[in-house]
């Protein structure tokens, strides 16, 4: 058998090495594809809610759209000193004496008790006794007869205190040419005294004034917060002021002879105060319940818009609108199963139903998605992150990377639950 020469062995070794290199090259440079799918966002809402404030609960009730309310007691009082405008008047009658003269020479003249004499100004007095005047004398000279009788003023008061010689008008049934009258001395004893006294009008007026003060005090207490917690809003439209109670029975004041009197009122009212912060939480809870287990919430997409609270029949309501954006959760393994071995155009059409698709084959002239799973990388954008206690499940792990190729560093595939995009994930609604 002829011996193989060294050159032949060398050629054979080179051939074997070439085959090995060709095999490795074929493995390294088989067609591959990178696919990026950006799930299409979907709007949630707007969800319109009306959250009611209920004084009978102590914690929020998201199922029934209720938040706690507080019914605050608001005690108020008012008092003041008032003037008595009524009065009791006490008057005395003036009295004195008058002297009558009779010029009648033909007969005597009798002036009956109760006869009225007066001043020229009309201040009248009555005689207190009957007085009989004899005939006037004519011999040895003319001399009128005279007599004195007591008088008392017809009306009470100081007007009856007249000076001497002020009373000159004789009784109506007397002839002033034959009968004369005068008071030698001033009359006296006419008095007028006033004593302040509380009248019904005084008490009624005081009650009206105090009730106005009670209302003002109640309004001021509401404006000052009515003792509500710092985080609560007082709704004055729900305020109710109870009946007022006087410090003393007003009826017992009427008729008291005093110049001033004290009176006060007390009352108690109620008002509703609400901490509205749970309203937003309720709206958020209702919103997140609509995310769905097969979707994730887009970071920063939650928008809660509270409306102006309303009050009707003493009940406070808070309208609120909530909206957000979600994206579907995609499984790279399932997507790969749909497109493996398909043309690039077919794969793009299939994946387009899930969102925006970018397919980068290598080499560029490759027209099909490789059938070898390790040659395909699928990245799902916008599905990373999660709550702090959330860990990726096995199905959410990155797909195996294909071998590196020249001039390109392979991107790790990203499954649901990874953290490359930084977007938070809403917990599934209960």
**38 strand-pairing partners:** 356
Measured from the Cβ of residue 60, the count of other Cβ atoms closer than 10 Å reads 20
CA distance 293 to 372: 31
Q: Which of 277, 272, 275 is nearest to 226 (CA)?
A: 272
- Run of H or E residues at 126: strand 124-127
CA distance 267 to 241: 7
Supply the pLDDT for residue 403. 33
Q: Which of 111, 90, 88, 95 is nearest to 154 (CA)?
A: 95
Supply the pLDDT for residue 83. 97
Supply the pLDDT for residue 16. 54
Supply the pLDDT for residue 30. 82
CA-angle at 153, arms to 150 and 157, nearest 5°: 140
Supply the pLDDT for residue 408. 31
CA atoms within 13 A on the CB side of 426: 29
CA distance 289 to 281: 12
Contact 41, 327 (CB under 8 A): yes
CATH number of 88-194: 2.40.30
E strands along 198-253, which residues? 233-241, 245-246
Each residue's pLDDT tens digit, 49-68:
999 999 999 999 999 999 99
Helix pair angle (332-339, 344-352), 10° resolution: 140
Contact 378, 401 (CB under 8 A): no
Indicate the domain borders of the chain. Answer: 1-28, 88-194
Q: Report the phi/psi class of residue 159: left, alpha or beta, with left for phi > 0 and alpha for psi in -120 to 50.
A: alpha
Supply the pLDDT for residue 9. 65
Token pair 């609120």 is found at: 320
Contact 278, 49 (CB under 8 A): no
Q: Provide the pairing of β-strand 145-153 with 95-102.
A: antiparallel
Supply the pLDDT for residue 17. 63
Supply the pLDDT for residue 382. 75
Supply the pLDDT for residue 23. 47
DSSP assignment of 292-334 equals -TTEEEPTT--EEEE---EEETTEEEEEEEEEEEEEE---HHH
The parts of the chain modelled with pLDDT lower than 70 are 1-29, 383-430
Contact 185, 167 (CB under 8 A): no
């Amino acid at each position: 058998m002829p011996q193989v020469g060294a050159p032949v062995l060398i050629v054979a070794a080179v051939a074997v090495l070439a085959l090995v290199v060709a095999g490795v090259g074929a493995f390294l440079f088989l067609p591959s594809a990178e696919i990026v799918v950006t799930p299409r966002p979907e709007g949630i809402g707007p969800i319109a809610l009306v959250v009611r404030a209920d004084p009978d609960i102590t914690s929020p009730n998201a199922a029934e759209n209720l938040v706690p309310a507080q019914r605050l007691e608001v005690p108020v009082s008012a008092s003041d000193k008032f003037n008595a405008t009524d009065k009791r008047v006490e008057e005395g009658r003036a009295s004195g004496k008058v002297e009558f003269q009779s010029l009648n020479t033909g007969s005597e003249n009798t002036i009956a008790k109760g006869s009225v004499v007066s001043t020229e100004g009309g201040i009248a007095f009555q005689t207190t006794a009957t007085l009989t005047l004899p005939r006037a004398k004519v011999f040895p000279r003319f001399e009128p007869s005279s007599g004195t009788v007591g008088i008392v003023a017809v009306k009470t008061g100081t007007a009856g205190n007249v000076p001497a010689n002020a009373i000159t008008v004789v009784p109506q049934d007397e002839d002033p040419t034959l009968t004369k009258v005068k008071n030698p001395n001033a009359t006296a004893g006419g008095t007028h005294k006033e004593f302040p006294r509380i009248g019904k009008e005084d008490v009624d007026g005081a009650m009206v004034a105090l009730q106005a003060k009670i209302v003002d005090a109640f309004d001021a207490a509401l404006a000052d917060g009515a003792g509500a917690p710092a985080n609560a809003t007082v709704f004055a439209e729900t305020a109710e002021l109870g009946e007022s109670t006087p410090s003393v029975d007003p009826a017992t004041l009427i008729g008291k002879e005093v110049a001033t009197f004290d009176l006060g009122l007390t009352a108690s009212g109620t008002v509703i105060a609400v901490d509205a912060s749970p309203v937003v939480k309720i709206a958020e809870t209702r919103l997140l319940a609509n995310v769905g287990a097969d979707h994730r919430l887009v970071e920063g997409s939650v928008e809660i818009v509270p409306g102006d609270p309303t009050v009707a029949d003493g009940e406070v309501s808070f309208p609120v609108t909530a909206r957000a954006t979600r994206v579907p959760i995609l499984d790279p393994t399932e997507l790969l199963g749909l497109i493996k071995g398909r043309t690039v155009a077919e794969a793009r059409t299939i994946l387009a139903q899930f969102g925006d698709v970018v397919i980068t084959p290598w080499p560029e002239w490759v027209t099909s998605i490789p059938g070898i799973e390790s040659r395909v990388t699928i990245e799902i954008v916008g599905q990373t992150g999660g709550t702090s206690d959330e860990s990726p499940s096995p199905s959410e792990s990155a797909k195996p990377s294909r071998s590196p190729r020249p001039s390109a560093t392979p991107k790790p595939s990203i499954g649901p639950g990874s953290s490359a995009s930084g977007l938070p994930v809403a917990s599934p609604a209960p």
